[in-house]
Amino acid sequence: MSRYDPATTEAKWQTAWDKEGVFTARHDPAKPKYYVLEMFPYPSGRIHMGHVRNYTMGDVVARQKAASGFSVLHPMGWDAFGMPAENAAMERGGHPKDWTYGNIADMRAQMKPLGLSIDWSREFATCDPEYYGQQQAMFIDMLNAGLVYRKSAMVNWDPVDMTVLANEQVIDGKGWRSNAPVERRELTQWFFKITDYADELLSALDGLKDWPEKVRLMQANWIGKSRGLEVPFQRTDGAAPIVCYTTRPDTMRGASFIAISPDHPIAKALEADRPDLAAFLAECRRMDTTEAAMEKAEKLGIDTGLAVRHPVFKGQTLPVWIGNFVLMDYGTGAVFGCPAHDQRDLDFARKYGLPVIDAFHMPGNDTPVSNEALVPLKSEPVQYIDHFAGLGLTTGQDGIEKTIDWFAAQGLGTAQTRFRLRDWGISRQRYWGCPIPVVHCDACGVVPESKANLPVRLPDDVTFDIPGNPLDRHPTWRDCTCPKCGAAARRETDTMDTFVDSSWYYARFTAPHATTPTDLAEAEYWMNVDQYIGGVEHAILHLLYSRFFARAMQKTGHLPAKASEPFNALFTQGMVTHEIYQSRDKAGRPVYHLPEDVLRFNLMNEPVAFLRTDHATDLAEMTEDQLAALRLEAASTPIEIIPSAKMSKSKKNVVDPMNIIAAYGADTARWFVMSDSPPERDVEWTSSGAEAAAKHLARVWRIADEISRDATPANLGDTELQRATARTIADVTQGIEGFAFNKSVAALYALTNTLSKSTAGAVAKRAAMKTMAQLLQPMVPHLAEEIWAMLDGVGLVSQAAWPVADPALLVDDTVTLPIQINGKRRAEISVPKDMPAAQVEKLVLADEDVIRFLAGQPVRKLIVVPGRIVNVVI
């Protein structure tokens, strides 16, 4: 064999690994453990380059840790419930179950050729009854522990599809499928009490040192802790006071009205007697709640006719309005308006003729507020008017603190800490999800299903030809007996949000076949996940839910004390992007072209592209004139190249990993996605880069092949090669441990170049190449095994111990010192590593280049940084 053949080689080594059970995770108390996890995929049916990058990163870490003496757990599973399966059933017929398990089989078959060091014996899908049954058991435990409750909540209701929609599924106020205007409807839903842990989920972020700062910040903002004041406003009619929440009590002097939410009980109470008000509330309910719509939506209000007394200035009354901008589920659903210091309140006041009262001025400028609200930074000092709440000249921050204390001391209000975080609503009116294991009994009310009856299985005989939840209209599935009294009862037909499924799968992997949700002994050994890797798009929801779930599982006895934070270290990787090839049709609309339909190359460093069908594809055969003509054509009717775009079917810029594996092998795909770009950043897939990666791997193989037949005795350059190898061990190790795989790759390129030029003897070269095989193993394991075997390595390189650099080889005896004159590099000298500074100075001043540059000028200062640099200041 004179050429490296990935197809046969890769299959050969995968079989060898399987036979040896190399990647089976072993609970070995004598060894330290390491748990590597990549966010598990949704079984769409096809793997994409993003998967390849994600899993290769995890694989590099897993393989390097295994070689370094850890007992490694590196599992894989499927986040298998969710709407796409139902949509497929609706569009194409068939059953969501068949679609899903078919996709899983397809994707597994696509993943296996990648040669990932995964323990496939632990694989599961969240739609397996063995999995969701355990999830139901935990749900019941959490219900009993007070972590789950039912309440009525406003939801997005699609009247045509007859289902609740998530906010993301409401587009321009319409259902994404039905295109029907979405209604706001009040429904009774199941909730997880994540807010019980709001404070802890926030404060524990500080301990997550190995999480990206960005993600911790995003979570902190999402939880959104704020300190403020709750103030009751007494009603003039003597009814119960309206309680407002504010984070700016220092502006209370400027309060000129109260605004309550359309969903506020007071608003609802008035509805019956006030047709105009009822109409207004109906309008509010119809309102679109999407972000964009709210931005545009006008701030509307209606006067209730009620009035309250100002808590401090008792003689002063404030009108009570209903405002469409007041949210019922944040604070108390009622706010006071301070038009002088809030732009929205000012607009509202101007619109409805409400007074504008200043609470403070900027020091030295007491012009009253007119068209623009005065909203200085909280750190800026302001002059409070009339010593309201005892305030004078101070910052807003200080003013807020003092006012809270003042109100509390006067008994006019209570200090309150509020969170933006809401409880997690998990009810979904869908079929393809985990059934909520409760029954509704006329006598006993809502009763959890008996654990003996778990799993509550999804029925198979369902149809999707009618909108709505098939479980709801199933003739028999709903019928059951009450676990408490034995009477006939109805099963809950809502299923759980699929985010529940992915909130504990990491724990299930530690004991995937246990008959309880977890096995505490296994969890004690394997938890927590040491390295979690996935996309930054999950920075908030999935990761926050998982952090909550770990705590809830602890409370219900399903996880040991050590596992309150499930993921010790988190890495968020960037996307794999690809150019888009775009032209325009006669109407000027963009038309996209598949990479394989486009001939793309660089002419004098300028990228150009045209449709392959238009021309002969062989550039090399073209004359200069033809090339020039081509260039002209590209300039006049160009296919525009849009770089670094997210791969998407509609833009036709998706590169299928299967095509790459077929053409070059898995190692090439793995090598490419680890090269060049830092893992946290996006990497652009280029065909030239992929080809180059394949060429490089073939080159390494060729060099190894030559070395295997080399017989040169000990020779010049042996030591140098050893030094280079030691350097590479250090660099590659550092790269992997620091999640800078691109630097590890660069170091391996450098060693290849050194080795190919080396004049060293066969023994030294063989040793260097074997070390290289070990260092290549995490990234390109098949090639590494092949080289290892070629050079008579013992056993499998995947099971060989990670090489350690000899420290003596890492330090050079002589160093090249650059000499700067006034900070600019002018010369260099070569000196023994530990030459005393005084001696270096003498050499520097005697250097002919230095003398020439000094031109006789006196040296004012001479800085010698031993082993690094010399700077001469004149």
Partner RNA sequence: GCCCGCGUGGUGGAACGGUAGACACUGGGGACUUAAAAUCCCUUGCCUCCGGGCGUGCCGGUUCGAUUCCGGCCGCGGGCACCA
Window 683 to 722, contacts with RNA (CB under 7 A): 683-684, 686, 688-689, 691-692, 695-696, 698-699
Restricting to residues 103-122, name those near RNA by CB under 7 A: none
Interface positions, 224-283, toward RNA (CB under 7 A): 224, 226, 228, 245-248, 261
CB-nearer residue toward RNA: 123 or 691: 691
Instruction: Based on the shown chain and the rule CB under 7 A, indicate whether residue 69 belongs to the binding site for RNA.
Output: no
Of 461-469, 479-487, 656-664, 859-867, which part binds RNA (CB under 7 A)? 859-867
Would you say 637 or 688 has its CB closer to RNA? 688
**730: CB partners within 8 A, 6+ apart:** 805, 810
SS3 532: strand
Positive or negative torsion for Cα 323, 328, 334, 337: negative
- Whether a cis peptide bond, with omega within 30° of 0, leads into 455 is yes
Q: For residues 180 and 183, what is the distance between their CA atoms, to the nearest angstrom? A: 9
Q: Does 484 bind RNA (CB under 7 A)?
A: no
The two structure tokens encoding residue 714: 């000990």
Tell me the one-letter amino acid at 92.
Answer: R
Return the residues of window 333-352 that contact RNA according to CB under 7 A. Answer: 333, 335-336, 344
What's the closest the beta carbon of residue 431 comes to RNA, in angstroms?
28
Q: Which listed range, 213-221, 390-398, 526-534, 553-561, lies at the site for RNA (CB under 7 A)? A: 213-221
- Binding of residue 490 to RNA (CB under 7 A): no
Interaction between residue 830 and RNA (CB under 7 A): no
Give yes or no for a contact between 574 and 680, defined as CB atoms under 8 angstroms apart: yes
Taking the complex as a whole, how short is the minimal distance between the CB of residue 584 and RNA, in angstroms? 21
When binding is defined by CB under 7 A, the residue of 40, 325, 384, 739 that contacts RNA is 325
Q: How far is the CB of 50 from RNA (least distance, A)?
A: 15
Establish if 818 lies at the interface with RNA (CB under 7 A): yes
CB 137, min distance to RNA, A: 32
Q: Is-contact 637 622, C-beta < 8 A?
A: no
- Indicate which single residue of 183, 196, 656, 682 sits in contact with RNA (rule: CB under 7 A): 682
Residue 222 touching RNA (CB under 7 A): yes
Region from 330-338, 521-529, 628-636, 837-845 binding RNA, contact rule CB under 7 A: 330-338
Burial of 397 (0-12, 13-18, 19+ CB in 10 A): middle
First to last CA, the chain: 64
120 or 330: CB nearest RNA: 330
Check residue 313 for interaction with RNA (CB under 7 A): no
Q: Does 147 bind RNA (CB under 7 A)?
A: no
535 binds RNA (CB under 7 A): no
| Three-state SS annotation for 364-408 | CECCCCCCCCCCCCCCCEEEEHHHHHHCCEEEHHHHHHHHHHHHH
Rounded to a whole number of angstroms, the minimum distance from the CB of residue 39 to RNA is 16
The first and second tokens of residue 713, run together, are: 């005795």
Exactly one of 237, 273, 276, 291 binds RNA (CB under 7 A); which one? 291
Neighbouring C-beta atoms of residue 662, cutoff 10 Å: 12
Q: Does 816 bind RNA (CB under 7 A)?
A: yes
> 13 near 786, Cβ under 8 Å?
yes
Enumerate residues 587-646 that contact RNA by CB under 7 A. Answer: 601-605, 620
- 33-52 residues near RNA, rule: CB under 7 A: none
**In Å, what is the CA distance from 135 to each residue of 402, 423, 451, 562?**
48, 19, 11, 21
What the block records as the tokens of 551 is: 């705590």
CB of 224 to RNA, least distance (A): 6
**C-alpha neighbours within 13 Å on the C-beta side of residue 43:** 26
- Does 743 contact RNA by CB under 7 A? yes
**DSSP of 125-150:** BTTSHHHHHHHHHHHHHHHHTT-EEE
Question: Which CA distances in Å does 545 have to 192, 323, 520?
Answer: 10, 33, 21
Nearer to RNA, 168 or 273 (CB): 168
The residue (of 233 and 509) whose beta carbon lies closer to RNA is 233
Binding residue for RNA, selected from 239, 240, 279, 294, defined by CB under 7 A: 294
Q: Which of 824, 856, 857, 858 binds RNA (CB under 7 A)?
A: 824
